[in-house]
Structure 1
Amino acid sequence: MKHPHNIRRAFHKEFSDWRVWSSRGLVVAFAAAAGLTVVGFTWLAEQAFDLFEALCRLAWWAPLLWTPLSTAGIVWLTRRYAAGAGGSGIPQVMAGLEPSTPTEQLGLFASLRLSVAKILLTAGGFLAGLSIGREGPSVQVAAGVMLSARRWLPERTTVTAHGLLVAGGAAGIAAAFNTPLAGVMFAIEELSRTPEQRSSGLLMAAIVLAGLMAVSVNGNATYFGIIHAAGIDLSLLLPGLLVALLSGLAGGLFSRLLIASLSGTATDRFSRWRGRWPIWFAAGCGLAVAGLGLLTGGAVIGSGYGHTHDMLAGHDHTPAMFFSFKFIATWLTAWSGVPAGIFAPSLAIGAALGNDVAQLLNYPHASALIALGMVGFLAAATQAPLTSFIIVMEMVDGHAMVLSLMACAMVARTVSHVLGPPLYANLALVQLQRLPGARSL
């Protein structure tokens, strides 16, 4: 027989235990710290890229020397001092969340030391002029900050290391994109592996708080601004379906390339060179990215924020073949081994694809196809359609495109899933091989 709810007993249980409230206070405090850390990381990355652009203004040929040397230096520092900071950062957090990962080994994947290294090395990638994003690295940075809270938590707390990693990783996405709702969905879709029933409300509150810290500093504006999409009617159906299919194919190919390049299972000549001479290989990738940057007038370097913003605003000054060159530059950057994310570059690649389709079909409302290309390519590359949909949805002025964006994300993800397995889950398996005693897959 179910006992009736006793308000007095429930009140006493909720407010009498100091451990509960100290745990909550610590989680909230570290969530705020994680959000502010990502804000500082964003500022540092932007300053680093501004310095690179200043270098380019001084001498147009400088990237041909600076970029390969810097890329080689970043990879050497990463491999020598912070192996766990390489790559995106999302696979590390997912590896830490695997049930097979011992709690005492979580520092291999997320820690304050790795967070500091990730910030400095990723900012170095912006300073080097690579095609790079900071959103994936923000996941590992915030996860490391949140995980450090466990040493201060009281004994017998209900907040676990798993919960802190989930909250920290999702807080990184929320703060990086200024979209708290996307952080919550990222936690559900990509990071969460087991239910945290007793503390889920607290952890979700921590994710939202970290995102709101970014909002309080940067203002209530989305990463790429507001998309003013017009002409959302039946005339969008065929062009939109074409964008969904093409972005699914392109994103699926991009994901397959990254898995083959970064998993260490490929046997081609370039992969053998990477395994034998990783520093020289990184320099070669940096030289190739610098060459693409010069060929496109600097369009493909950095996150692609400026060109994506211009396309959305209708000021299309992107060079011909921007889609292809940005695709290749982002792949080469990741392949080089530097700490680098793909979220913002993927949005830029998708935006270019949508813009190209609009020009090809002479479609009068290019912004709608650009938005669909952004959500489609990101959903296909990451196979996280709901997170991708919410990130782009929060940029759209009004709700006319919500169903179109959701449909595009699901179609593109389905096409990508046919072409290959999920990107981050496979790269997380590679990270698990760093555990002591792990056997090669």
Structure 2
Amino acid sequence: MYRPPEFLKAVQKELADWRMWSDRLVVLLFAGLAGLTVVVFTWLSEHALATFFVAYQKWFWWPLLWTPLLTMAIVFVTRRFAAGTAGSGIPQVMAALSVETPPLCRSLYVSLKLSLMKVALTASGLLAGLSLGREGPSVQIAAGVMHSARRWLSPNSPIKDSGLILAGGAAGIAAAFNTPLGGVMFAIEELSRRPEDRRSGLLMAAIILAGLMAVSAYGNKSHFGEIRVDQISFALLLPGMVVAVLSGIFGGMFARLLIYSLHNTSSHWVHAFRRSSPIWFAGGCGLLIAIIGLSTQGATFGSGYAHTRAMLENTDDVSSLYVLLKLVVTWLTTWAGVPAGIFAPALAIGAALGNDLAMLMQYPNAPTLIALGMAGFLAAVTQAPLTAFIIVMEMVTGHELVLSLMASALIASGISRLISQPLYAALTHSQLGRLPGKAPGQV
């Protein structure tokens, strides 16, 4: 006959092991520290980009010198002192969680040193005006902070390195977007391959705590402001479907272009030049980014937050070529080899795509198609539709658009899978090539 446990005995048993409680406290303290680190990183990145625009407004020609020179310096420091920081940061975290990576080699991908270098180098990229986001780097930064908690746990702690890295990576997304729910979904959909990690209440609490650090610092607000939509009707069906399909096509092509560029080992002179002279190649990419930025009156510089917000407020007058040009400068930024994320630029490209289609199809409520474009394009590039849907969903006031956002993300991601292999899985394979005894991959 079943007997429920007595309350006092259950409490006594739970409190008996002080080491377990000290381990829990360590994990939660480092989760708060990870969230705080991302908050500081956010502040530093925003001020770096603002400083770039102050100089650009004073001397319009300044980016032609500053952007390529600083890009070269960033790539030099990255390759010389912190090779593990190159690129987004998400493939590094996925490589650290891979079963192919021995525990002693995880520091190749996540560590406190790499986190600090990632903060400085990514902020420097925004200081150069490069088209990059800080959300992917936030994943690696927070994972490195959380991974360093391992040395403070008890020797026989049941909390594993993989669990700490998983919680840190997801906490980075939660803190970067002010979306704890998005961080949890990112952990489940993109990072975790171990069911026991997905079910860990302690690690979920750590993710949420890190996200709350960002909410406490910046308030419960989206970087793009709130997206207000009108009542949904059947009039949205055709425009919404067009946005989802085009987002999937362009997003899949963009992901395939990134994989091709970063993995290519052909003897073509461009790829050969990138391998033999990576610093000068980065300078050339920086110069092209500066030229495109000047041709758009600065619209393509930086992450794209400001122009996305302006589109939502109907105060943006960027050319219809913005989608193509922003895609090109984001590709060049990534190809240059600097530490750089693509989440924010992908959201900006998707928003511009939705805005262009709203004008072309004369749809009266442009913010609705902008939101669908953001969810669709991000889902197509990352092939993580649930994460993309939740991140954009938390920017929308009201629940009218929830199902439409989910449909846009799923359709775009499905189309993208027909065009390109998963972006982060391919880049993770390159990162695993950095393990001792393996052939290095192109990154």
Q: Indicate the TM-score class for this superposition, using the shorter chain for normalisation.
A: over 0.9
Question: What does residue 407 of structure 2 align with?
Answer: 407
Change in CA separation of 1:430 and 1:224 when aligned onto 2, cut-off 3 Å? same
TM-score by length of 1: 0.98
Maintained 8 Å contact 1:350/1:373:
yes
Question: What does residue 158 of structure 2 align with?
Answer: 158
Deviation, 1:269, is: 3.1
Is 1:74 the equivalent of 2:82? no
Percentage of pairs with the same residue: 60
Deviation, 1:157, is: 1.1
Alignment of 1:218-297 (within 5 A): 218-265=218-265, 267-297=267-297
Question: What does residue 187 of structure 2 align with?
Answer: 187
Separation (CA, whole Å) in 2 of partners of 1:198 and 1:168: 13
Between stretches 327-336 and 228-237, larger displacement belongs to: 228-237
Change in CA separation of 1:198 and 1:172 when aligned onto 2, cut-off 3 Å? closer
Separation (CA, whole Å) in 2 of partners of 1:12 and 1:369: 56
Separation (CA, whole Å) in 1 of partners of 2:267 and 2:377: 27
Between stretches 318-327 and 21-30, larger displacement belongs to: 318-327
Change in CA separation of 1:165 and 1:266 when aligned onto 2, cut-off 3 Å? farther
Change in CA separation of 1:238 and 1:31 when aligned onto 2, cut-off 3 Å? same
Is 1:309 the equivalent of 2:289? no
Is 1:217 the equivalent of 2:217? yes
Between stretches 196-205 and 375-384, larger displacement belongs to: 196-205
One-letter identity of the residue aligned with 1:317: D
Separation (CA, whole Å) in 1 of partners of 2:354 and 2:197: 41
Count residues with an aligned counterpart.
441
Maintained 8 Å contact 1:231/1:365:
no
TM-score by length of 2: 0.97
Separation (CA, whole Å) in 2 of partners of 1:308 and 1:153: 43
User: Unpaired runs of 5+ in structure 2?
Assistant: none
Deviation, 1:263, is: 2.3
One-letter identity of the residue aligned with 2:137: P
Separation (CA, whole Å) in 2 of partners of 1:268 and 1:163: 42
Is 1:324 the equivalent of 2:324? yes
Maintained 8 Å contact 2:188/2:198:
no
Separation (CA, whole Å) in 2 of partners of 1:34 and 1:403: 33
One-letter identity of the residue aligned with 1:174: A
Maintained 8 Å contact 1:351/1:371:
yes
Maintained 8 Å contact 2:163/2:197:
no
Deviation, 1:270, is: 1.7
Maintained 8 Å contact 2:112/2:144:
yes
Question: What does residue 55 of structure 1 align with?
Answer: 55
Separation (CA, whole Å) in 1 of partners of 2:23 and 2:3: 29
Alignment of 1:4-83 (within 5 A): 5-83=5-83
Between stretches 211-220 and 258-267, larger displacement belongs to: 258-267
Separation (CA, whole Å) in 2 of partners of 1:130 and 1:320: 21
Between stretches 261-270 and 135-144, larger displacement belongs to: 261-270
Separation (CA, whole Å) in 2 of partners of 1:92 and 1:343: 16
Deviation, 1:319, is: 2.6
Separation (CA, whole Å) in 2 of partners of 1:32 and 1:80: 31
Change in CA separation of 1:184 and 1:267 when aligned onto 2, cut-off 3 Å? farther
